[in-house]
Amino acid sequence: MIDLETILTYLTLISVPIGVFYHIITLNNTRKNQQMQLETRQAQLYLFFAAQMTSESLMDNGFKVSNADLKNLDDFNIWVGESGSSNHKAWALTLNFFENAGVLVRRDLLDIDMVAVGFAGMTRIYWERMKPVILEQRIAWSQPRLASEFEYLYDRLMKYMEENPELAT
């Protein structure tokens, strides 16, 4: 006959693996939930940036910047005129949009694949158009980090596009 102590010993031996198995399942479910939350946050950020990219304000101001013939800082100063002018605001708004996108990509809050699929062309056009002026501004204004996140976004995007040629624009 089996006594109570033996039964309790067997129950303990059985409950430990069951507890470990339950803990593993719980951790796995927590990880999946965290991944889903991250993907949801990234999708929300992407939708925010997509809405901004197609907003009338950014489109109007971005077109001003992309249509300006700015080869250097002198061209920029003539085009901008006074601080606070509509051209100055157009430049700042466009630059800040991409600068903020770069911050989010650097912090892994916005997936570079979303940028590549959603607004790679615009990122390339604006960086390549604005780069000569930005590089001169960094020196002239003693601001070596000016638009550095925009530059990071562009560089990261170009590297990603090389690794994923099917996305090339």
What digits encode the pLDDT tens for the residues 68-93? 999 999 999 999 988 888 999 999 99
The pLDDT tens digits of the residues spanning 132-166 come to 999 999 999 999 999 999 999 999 999 999 999 88
Q: Say what the pLDDT of residue 5 is.
A: 83
pTM higher than 0.85: no
pLDDT above 60 for 110: yes
- How confident is the model over 50-72, as a mean pLDDT? 88
**pLDDT for res 15:** 83
Rounded to whole angstroms, the Cα distance separating 110 from 119 reads: 12
